[in-house]
Structure 1
Amino acid sequence: MEEGCSTLVRKLEQKYLDDDDAIVGDIIFTGFTGCSPCKMASQRALELLVLNNMNIGTIGDPEKLATLASHVSEADLGWNQISQWSDVACILENLPHLRVLNIGHNPLNPVIDHELPVSNMHTIILNGTNLPFKTLQTLLAVLPNVSELHMSDNQFNDDDNCLSPISTSVRTIHLNRCGFQKWSSVMNVVKRFPNVCSVFVCENPLKDVIHCKQFDQLPYWKFLNLAKTAIDSWSSLDDLSKMTTITDLRIPNIPLLDPFTNEERSHLIIGRIHHLLVLNGSKISNEQREQSERFFIRYYQEQKEKPSQYKTLIAKHGNLEKLVNIDLTPKNEAIVKLVCEEKDVSKEITISLEPTILEFMKFLEQKCGVKYTRMKLFLFRNDGRCEDFSSSSYNMPLHYFKIEDGDMFMVQEKIVVTKRRRPPSSTSSSS
């Protein structure tokens, strides 16, 4: 243990035991409760243990750990100074109900030099530990039920000669901020988990995605998160369209899509990757898919270079007539009619569509003389539809309601009924 470091047991006692109990050296002084700290911690059935960034270098008394933390199911020990695998073994031995363990950003020895007991945990976090593949393989061999593995903030060696699978139980793997620049580097890690279903590679300087043979050997891979990567070419999306098992894709905040609106981005991705069921967390309906495919056809009609998906969609929808150039950016203003019969107001005004409904009602108070607190507001559209605004919509912006030039706002003043005083009781005595 590094000089100046504390033990896990000491930090556990300091954080979770009753303030009435003093701990001096190895002696526990019990307060007026008449109950030892060990007994209290056991009775409280501590399940979540959070001791991150506490300069913990070793475990301390293992028997005391077993007593204090026997019910712990989640332990967060990230950003400490744990380096010895004997300490990791002590944690696994004395926390029998452990299901989630975070030992990320600890200076763990790159070689496991101590026998580790088998544990039934399902999630382990190893962010920032930079463990070699062989060490990961040895560790996960004693964690046969781990389905979620966090290995973000790690540096991986493409030349690592560990060829056999690291784990067949892992279904979700997090590889965020690992410095990946090439897709082959990502696959060099993911291919070692043959039953993987979900992969996170966010915030990597990754410029491309390339369909390869290793991907075809991962039949259960359905989810991919590429948020905040450096993808800047349509060829990456073309290759994603060849990865037909991936049905759930998250790809926000990439340079390729910066010039487009959110609506255009969705259309161009869905039109290009036909097998997607979920995009950026939203399910793709049949109506949405058809709209996107039609947008995709019209977008590439006038362009010389057309993607391979274009012919497929033409065969499905036919040649579509070119639409009038439509500005998809939201309108900032609208010319509407304002009517308030009680105040004899009927005029045309130009309004901003940025304010909320409540702010708009305060604006109308100046125009028609009805206090916004007593105002009922109705919108009559050009097509004959009418809607009124309830308090639940007051914080929503006007542009959300797609107001067009020529629409009419009608203001009515609420009728306030004054409560009548109850007459004095006829039975009251008089003198």
Structure 2
Amino acid sequence: MEEGCSTLVRSLEQKYLDDDDDVVQDLLFTGFTGCSPCKMASQRALELLVLNNMNIGTIGDSEKLATLASHVSEADLGWNQISQWSDVACILKNLPHLRVLNIGHNPLNPVINHELPVSTLHTIILNGTHLPFKTLQSFLSILPKVTELHMSDNQFNDDDDCDEPISTTVKTIHLNRCGFQRWSSVMNVVKRFPNVCSVFVCENPLKDVTHCKQFDQLPFWNFLNLAKTSIDSWTSLDHLSKMTSITDLRIPNIPLLDSLTNEERLHLIIGRIHQLRVLNGSKITGEQREQSERFFIRYYQEQKEKPAQYKTLIDKHGNLEKLVSIDLTPKKDAIVKLVCEEKDVNKEITISLEPTILEFMKFLEPKVCVKYTRMKLFLFRTDGRSEDFTSSTYNMPLHYFKIEDNDTFMVQEKIVVTKRRRPPSSTSSSS
């Protein structure tokens, strides 16, 4: 162990055990609901062990590890200083219920020089360990139930042309941030997992995807994540359309799509890749596919260079009429005529269509010199129709009435009749 490094057992005790719980004895197996992590560990209830970036260099007391962590099913030991395979063997041996193990970003010896016990792990994380293919093959051979493998942040050697499988049980493989620039480099790794179903190659400087014979030898591969790669041409998507087993694709944040709208991205990808069932996590319905294919036809029908899929979709849907673009958003203003014969007003003004009729009448008051409370308002449309605004419409916005340019508003002042008081009646008294 490097000088200054801690042991796994010591780090476990410091994080999960109280100071007075030095040794676990006379344990009481009661319900664990509401227990602190320290108490749970001391009562053999610890299932999730998180000791990443703790400067751990070795295991320490293996018997104490077996006592404290016998129920652990997930262990995160990433970003430590574990280098010896004897320590990895100790972990696998003393954590019999372990299902997920993260030993990524540890300086593991590139050669396995210690016998490893068979383990029931189903997920192993080896990010940033840079293990050679032969070492990886030896390690996975003692993990007969592993289905998910994380190998991100690794560098792979393209010169290794061996086609011997590394694992036949791995279904999901993560190869993010591995520096892949060519699709052949990706395939050089993936082809070694003949039963793979899902592949992640996010955040690689990958500029293209190419259909190749190695892909055709992977019949179960149906999911591919290309997020944040450097793909910048439609040719790659044309090749993806030939990889017919890929039905679930994630491809956001690539240069090819930067200049397109969200609608164009959706329709042009679905239109090109006919076998897709899921795109960027969203299921593609039959109605969605038809909309996308029709959009695809209209998008390319006036362009000189048309993709190969264009003819296929024309055969399916026929030649389509170009859609007429109709803007259905309400107008925000209009240029109208304002007329008030009593006040000799006849002019053209620009009005907002957002206010209510009552607010509009208050707006007109200084322009026509008629108090809004005495105002009678009419609308005469250019097509001959008219509108008489009553108190029942005062709270309705102007745009509700679909006012157009050159319509005329006419204001009249209400005639207020002053009621004359009746003179008091004279009465005569009878004697």
Q: TM-score range by the shorter chain?
A: 0.7 to 0.9
- The answer for the alignment partner of 1:175 in structure 2 is 175
- The answer for the alignment partner of 2:238 in structure 1 is 238
Contact 1:338 1:348 in 2 (8 A): no
Cα displacement string for residues 177-232 of structure 1 (whole angstroms, at most 9, x for unaligned residues): 00000000000000000000000000000000000000000000010000000001
Which amino acid counterpart does residue 46 of structure 2 have in structure 1?
Answer: L
1:248-287 equivalences in 2 (<5 Å): 248-287=248-287
TM-score (norm 1): 0.74
- The answer for the alignment partner of 1:139 in structure 2 is 139
Which amino acid counterpart does residue 217 of structure 1 have in structure 2?
Answer: Q
Q: Secondary structure of 1:241's match? A: helix
Supply the distance in 2 between the matched residues of 1:90 and 1:378 (Cα, whole angstroms).
Answer: 77
TM-score (norm 2): 0.74
Cα displacement string for residues 221-258 of structure 1 (whole angstroms, at most 9, x for unaligned residues): 01000000000111100000000100000000101111
Cα displacement string for residues 19-55 of structure 1 (whole angstroms, at most 9, x for unaligned residues): 444x6xxxx699xx9xxx9996352510000000000
Supply the distance in 1 between the matched residues of 2:177 and 2:264 (Cα, whole angstroms).
Answer: 28
Q: CA deviation at 1:162?
A: 3.8
- The answer for the alignment partner of 1:216 in structure 2 is 216
- The answer for the alignment partner of 1:188 in structure 2 is 188
- The answer for the alignment partner of 2:61 in structure 1 is 61
Which amino acid counterpart does residue 45 of structure 1 have in structure 2?
Answer: A
Cα displacement string for residues 306-341 of structure 1 (whole angstroms, at most 9, x for unaligned residues): 1110000000111111224679xx989845845668
Supply the distance in 2 between the matched residues of 1:255 and 1:47 (Cα, whole angstroms).
Answer: 43
Change (3 A) 1:323 1:76: same
Change (3 A) 1:323 1:116: same
Cα displacement string for residues 129-151 of structure 1 (whole angstroms, at most 9, x for unaligned residues): 00011111100000011110000
Change (3 A) 1:269 1:381: farther
Q: CA deviation at 1:94?
A: 0.1
Q: CA deviation at 1:288?
A: 1.1
1:16-415 equivalences in 2 (<5 Å): 16-21=16-21, 41-324=41-324, 334=332, 337-338=353-354, 344-345=358-359
Change (3 A) 1:12 1:332: farther
In structure 1, runs of 5+ residues without a counterpart are 350-376, 385-404, 407-431
Q: CA deviation at 1:346?
A: 5.2
Supply the distance in 2 between the matched residues of 1:215 and 1:184 (Cα, whole angstroms).
Answer: 10
Supply the distance in 1 between the matched residues of 2:61 and 2:99 (Cα, whole angstroms).
Answer: 22
Which amino acid counterpart does residue 232 of structure 1 have in structure 2?
Answer: D
Which amino acid counterpart does residue 3 of structure 2 have in structure 1?
Answer: E
In structure 2, runs of 5+ residues without a counterpart are 29-36, 334-351, 364-394, 406-431
Which amino acid counterpart does residue 4 of structure 1 have in structure 2?
Answer: G
Which amino acid counterpart does residue 51 of structure 2 have in structure 1?
Answer: L
Q: Secondary structure of 2:169's match? A: coil
Q: Which protein shows a greater Rg? A: 2
Contact 2:44 2:69 in 1 (8 A): no
Farther off after superposition, 162-171 or 131-140: 162-171
- The answer for the alignment partner of 1:398 in structure 2 is none
Q: Using the aligned pairs only, state the percent identity.
A: 80
Contact 1:38 1:68 in 2 (8 A): no
Which amino acid counterpart does residue 237 of structure 1 have in structure 2?
Answer: L
Supply the distance in 2 between the matched residues of 1:18 and 1:190 (Cα, whole angstroms).
Answer: 46
Change (3 A) 1:161 1:85: farther
4+ long deviations beyond 6 Å: 37-40, 330-333, 377-384
